């Protein structure tokens, strides 16, 4: 058996979709275990661009079983729109399994998400406003509705009645429009009917696949620095995008998780608010943003851009057990005279090598950099490590030295073919 966990090792948007798609060609099963349609995975192949949000990236291959596991919060309307969109573009044969324990996102979640953000004013999180936080809050508060209940009309009706009463109270307090039970029920029961054939006990299915020695790829969403527990709280998402969360969020025993591939950009980006020590502005930020097309897949917001932060990468390695690194968007850095990598921070005059727990401290750290020569050559056609310019090779070696993780893969462009594998990942 071989399992491989893919985690974002920065603040999300590292290119997990591309790596998952690339490695999925060898996988039997692809699992999304947390988050929802706040994620945006862009995949490019055969000249076609696909933007996936909640559907796993193995969906393009009819031989792959795609699992949306129990740790996800799924917006039924959006998930169906995504599936219909894929079908319209010729992706008609696919295998999809949705956990009966996954929670559903209803329209009041998005309304509350937006209202909380507005209420917080300049302390807002900068969420995707897809209702992710409020849906996970309902789960923790034990008033969430799960797929298993959603697809049973009478059970859904009963649960929606109770939950909607509570939610309407919250909406009233915030001065927002309430939701009408009959309207929500009528619309969402239609989605439930359509989703029902996909719903099952996905943990059981995973156990069968493990027994068959299948190759299982766990596709992360967001990134370690956005983890509810270990990220830059409160500027985080409401689930845990770490390797450690995969067993819990998919129902697979921890002992089956051995390899964790951390995905990182050759630089750093962040969307939404919160501390970002290596953030750049001015011409250099624009250069990287435009070359890397750094605009949100979901919200289209321009992403904040910065130098590579190895303190954050080391933190992600430690928290997530990352033992391989995939370096993405490497070609974006071509054309620069020099490059900087952050190897430590300074806080109150002291050198620190980890992420402070509080926003108060984290916003005060100063990044300490090493400077490396850049390279001018276009590297988008490179097919091996040896073909890289010396300065680009040195950049990779320096990352390995600072993070103590081997770079197993690097990417020099958006196409599947522009992925250079340096080490076999699926054993
Ligand atoms: P939420 O997940 O919509 O609640 O947003 C919380 C924070 O996580 C915000 O800063 C978002 O920008 C960020 N976030 C959520 N999903 C992603 C993602 O897929 N990529 C990058 N950032 C994300």
Q: Which CATH number characterizes residue 270's domain?
A: 3.90.170.10
Q: Which residue has the higher pLDDT, 280 or 25?
A: 280
Supply the pLDDT for residue 45: 74
Do both 277 and 355 map to the same domain? yes
Determine the average pLDDT of the residues in 45-74. 92
Nearest atom, ligand 1, residue 301 CA: 12
Do both 274 and 415 map to the same domain? yes
In a domain, 426, yes or no: no
Q: Is-contact 44 414, C-beta < 8 A?
A: yes
Out of 195, 217, 250, pick the residue that ends a domain.
195
Do both 394 and 410 map to the same domain? yes
Q: pTM for the full model?
A: 0.95
Supply the pLDDT for residue 300: 85
293 is catalytic: no
Cα 7 to middle of ligand 1, angstroms = 15
Question: For 60-71, what is each residue's pLDDT tens digit?
Answer: 999 999 999 999
How much of the chain is helix, strand and coil, in % rounded to 5? 40, 25, 40
Question: At 344, is the pLDDT very low, low, confident or very high (cuts 50, 70, 90)?
Answer: very high
Ligand 1 near 126 CB (within 6 A): yes
Question: For 113-146, what is each residue's pLDDT tens digit?
Answer: 999 999 999 999 999 999 999 999 999 999 999 9
Determine the average pLDDT of the residues in 263-289. 96
28 is catalytic: no
Ligand 1 near 39 CB (within 6 A): yes
Determine the average pLDDT of the residues in 343-365. 97
Do both 303 and 373 map to the same domain? yes
Supply the pLDDT for residue 49: 86
Do both 294 and 367 map to the same domain? yes
**pLDDT > 70: what percent of the chain?**
100
The CA distance from 342 to 367, in Å, is 6
Cα 93 to middle of ligand 1, angstroms = 30
Out of 236, 259, 282, pick the residue that ends a domain.
259
Does residue 261 carry a pLDDT above 90? yes
Average pLDDT, the chain: 95
Closest CA to 31 of 210, 263, 194, 152: 210
Ligand 1 near 72 CB (within 6 A): no
Determine the average pLDDT of the residues in 161-173. 96
Query: Which has the minimum average pLDDT: 92-101, 294-303, 389-398, 412-421?
Result: 294-303
Supply the pLDDT for residue 93: 96
Does residue 40 carry a pLDDT above 90? no
Query: Which has the minimum average pLDDT: 43-57, 124-138, 149-163, 352-366?
Result: 43-57
Does residue 1 carry a pLDDT above 70? no
Do both 250 and 119 map to the same domain? no
Do both 223 and 271 map to the same domain? no
Q: Which residue has the higher pLDDT, 42 or 218?
A: 218
The CA distance from 251 to 215, in Å, is 16
Q: Which CATH number characterizes residue 187's domain?
A: 1.10.300.10
Do both 238 and 90 map to the same domain? yes
C-alpha distances (whole Å) from 309 to each of 278, 316, 327, 391, 424 are: 7, 11, 13, 18, 26
Does residue 416 carry a pLDDT above 90? no
In a domain, 141, yes or no: yes
Catalytic residue among 41, 103, 230, 324: 41
Determine the average pLDDT of the residues in 261-271. 97
Determine the average pLDDT of the residues in 213-218. 96
The CA distance from 81 to 87, in Å, is 10
Determine the average pLDDT of the residues in 336-348. 98
Question: For 374-387, what is each residue's pLDDT tens digit?
Answer: 999 999 999 999 99
- The residue segments making up the domain with residue 369 are 264-421
Determine the average pLDDT of the residues in 152-160. 98
**pLDDT > 90: what percent of the chain?**
91
Supply the pLDDT for residue 426: 82
The CA distance from 311 to 345, in Å, is 8
Q: Which residues pair with 279 in a beta bridge?
A: 306
Determine the average pLDDT of the residues in 350-368. 97
Cα 391 to middle of ligand 1, angstroms = 33
Q: Is-contact 363 355, C-beta < 8 A?
A: no
Q: 51: which residues sit within 8 A by CB, 6+ positions away? A: 40, 41, 42, 43, 297
**Scanning the structure block, which residue is given the tokens 């819990």?**
248
> What phi, psi does 229 have (nearest 5°)?
-90, -45
Do both 283 and 385 map to the same domain? yes
């Amino acid at each position: 058996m071989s399992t491989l966990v893919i985690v974002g090792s920065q603040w999300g948007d590292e290119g997990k979709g591309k790596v998952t798609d690339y490695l999925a060609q060898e996988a039997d099963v692809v699992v999304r275990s947390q988050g929802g349609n706040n994620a945006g995975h862009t995949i490019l192949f055969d000249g076609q661009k696909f933007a996936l949000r909640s559907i796993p990236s193995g969906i393009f291959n009819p031989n792959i079983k795609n699992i949306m596991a129990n740790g996800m919060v799924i917006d039924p309307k959006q998930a169906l729109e995504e599936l219909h969109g894929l079908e319209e573009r010729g992706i008609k044969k696919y295998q999809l399994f949705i956990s009966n324990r996954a929670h559903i996102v209803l329209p009041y979640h998005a309304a509350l998400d937006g209202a909380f953000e507005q209420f917080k004013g300049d302390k807002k999180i900068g969420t995707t406003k897809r209702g992710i936080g409020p849906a996970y809050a309902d789960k923790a508060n034990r008033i969430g509705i799960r797929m298993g209940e959603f697809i049973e009309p009478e059970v859904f009706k009963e649960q929606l009645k109770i939950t909607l009463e509570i939610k309407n109270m919250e909406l009233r307090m915030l001065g927002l429009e309430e939701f009408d039970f009959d309207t929500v029920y009528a619309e969402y029961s239609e989605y439930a009917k359509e989703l029902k054939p996909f719903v099952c006990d996905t943990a059981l299915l995973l156990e069968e696949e493990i027994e068959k020695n299948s190759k299982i790829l766990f596709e992360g969403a967001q990134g370690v620095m956005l983890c509810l527990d270990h990220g830059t709280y409160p500027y985080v998402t409401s689930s845990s995008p770490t390797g450690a969360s995969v067993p819990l969020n998919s129902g697979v025993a921890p002992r089956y998780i051995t390899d964790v591939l951390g995905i990182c950009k050759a630089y750093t980006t962040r969307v939404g608010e919160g501390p970002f020590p290596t953030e750049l502005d001015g011409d250099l930020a624009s250069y990287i943003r435009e070359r890397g097309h750094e605009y949100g897949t979901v919200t289209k917001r321009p992403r904040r851009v910065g130098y590579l932060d190895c303190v954050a990468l080391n933190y992600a390695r430690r928290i997530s057990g990352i033992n391989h690194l995939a370096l993405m968007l490497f070609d974006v850095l071509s054309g620069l005279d020099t490059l900087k990598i952050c190897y430590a921070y300074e806080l109150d005059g002291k050198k620190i090598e980890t992420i402070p727990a509080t926003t108060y401290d984290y916003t005060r750290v100063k990044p300490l950099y090493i400077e490396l020569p850049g390279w001018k050559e276009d590297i988008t056609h490179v097919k091996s490590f040896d073909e890289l310019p010396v300065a680009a090779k040195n950049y990779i070696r320096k990352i390995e030295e600072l993070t103590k993780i081997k770079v197993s893969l690097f990417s020099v462009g958006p196409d599947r073919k522009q992925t250079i594998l340096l080490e076999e990942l699926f054993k």
